[in-house]
Amino acid sequence: MAAAVATTVFTAALFISVLRSSRRAAAAAQAHVDRRRSHRSKRDPREALALVGNALAATHDARALLPLILEVVTEATGARGGLLVQDGEEVGWFGEVGDREPLELDLTGDDETGGRTTLLLYPPRRGFRKETAALAEWLATQAGIALENARLHERVQRQATTDELTGLVNRRRFLEALENELERSRLFETPLSLVLADLDDFKRVNDEHGHLAGDRALQTFGDLLRAHVRKVDVAGRLGGEEFAVLLPETDVESAALVADRMRRALSESSLEVTPVSRISLTASFGIAQLAPGQASEQLLSRADAALYEAKSAGKNRVSLAPAALGG
């Protein structure tokens, strides 16, 4: 019995000793982290500015820039952690957050969509020094400028590749996508079909109802194309009333079904041109499937010939290009 009691006492003492050692080790580790953070918080402002400046110059992608801003500003100010909030919703965090009152930094203010991006910096154990808080404010201002520049860059890029009237890709971007899909089709040996579409009698719409009605007709057709394609497809406006749809992994028969659904949807709808006047619209479609060894110009030429055939045969119809033997 005495031996059992002694064993129990020894075990309890050992447990208490281990617990105290663990607590001392944890305290020592925390002290090390705090010293490291304290050292970071005392970083030379020039070093912090260089760190953030290099990071902000690394990308023009706003989505990639946001987590970069979060991390480098948190590190540069010696904060325990940072939290990004967009429109009141948490979108990213770094380090330890939520345990103390944060320093709130406005990165973008109100943008054109009414949204707002805020960075919350959680201070180290002893809080932010006055000069560190001022540094954080300045860094946030620079980060906000970089973020706005990135978004402006994206808008410019989007405008350069998007048709302003319909929101579809423009001719240049469509032809780039065509070349890319040609290479992918050859590499994976999958079918690729091209649909060319043209609004029928579009000049009459402009002449009889004005160019505003013509613009609305183009927008209506653009919306219809967008509603009938998959995410992997590419719909574009090549110019005037001519449109195109690129259908990866789609043979000519399946492409014809897609085109005919578009044709019927357009012919069964009407466009309001005045409060008391509506007009009907139709379109013709020409389709070609990529043949082995064909170049993009040949595929476009075959689809264009099929479109011409649909127009010549009475419009408001779908025509398929004959199978080709290759280029």
State yes or no: is 241 an active-site residue.
Answer: yes
Architecture of domain 45-161: 2-Layer Sandwich (3.30)
How many CA atoms within 13 Å lie on the side-chain side of 324? 23
Q: List alpha helices for 42-110, DSSP H.
A: 45-56, 62-77
- Give, for all 327 residues of the chain, the pLDDT tens digit: 444 444 444 344 433 343 344 344 334 434 433 444 444 444 555 565 666 666 666 666 777 778 888 888 888 888 999 998 988 888 888 888 877 799 999 887 545 544 688 899 999 888 898 888 888 888 888 888 877 877 777 676 666 789 989 999 999 999 999 999 999 999 999 999 999 999 999 999 999 999 999 999 999 999 999 999 999 999 999 999 999 999 999 999 999 999 999 999 999 998 887 777 889 999 999 999 999 999 999 999 999 999 999 999 999 999 999 986 544
Distance CA 197, CA 195 (A): 6
The residue from 241, 242, 268, 297 that is catalytic is 241
Helix%, strand%, coil% for the chain, nearest 5: 55, 20, 25
Q: Which tokens sit at 285? A: 């479609």
Distance CA 237, CA 168 (A): 6
| Per-residue pLDDT reduced to its tens digit, 211-263 | 999 999 999 999 999 999 999 999 999 999 999 999 999 999 999 999 999 99
| Per-residue pLDDT reduced to its tens digit, 1-22 | 444 444 444 344 433 343 344 3
How many CA atoms within 13 Å lie on the side-chain side of 105? 29
Q: Do domains 45-161 and 171-320 have the same CATH topology?
A: no
Distance CA 147, CA 111 (A): 11
**Token pair 């930094």 in the structure block, residue:** 105
Domain extents in the chain: 45-161, 171-320
Q: What is the pLDDT of residue 78?
A: 87
Q: What is the pLDDT of residue 28?
A: 41
Distance CA 240, CA 249 (A): 28
How many CA atoms within 13 Å lie on the side-chain side of 197? 29
E strands in 100-199: 103-106, 117-122, 192-199
Query: pTM for this one?
Result: 0.60
Fold of 171-320: Alpha-Beta Plaits (3.30.70)
- Closest Cα to residue 177, out of 254, 122, 96, 244? 244
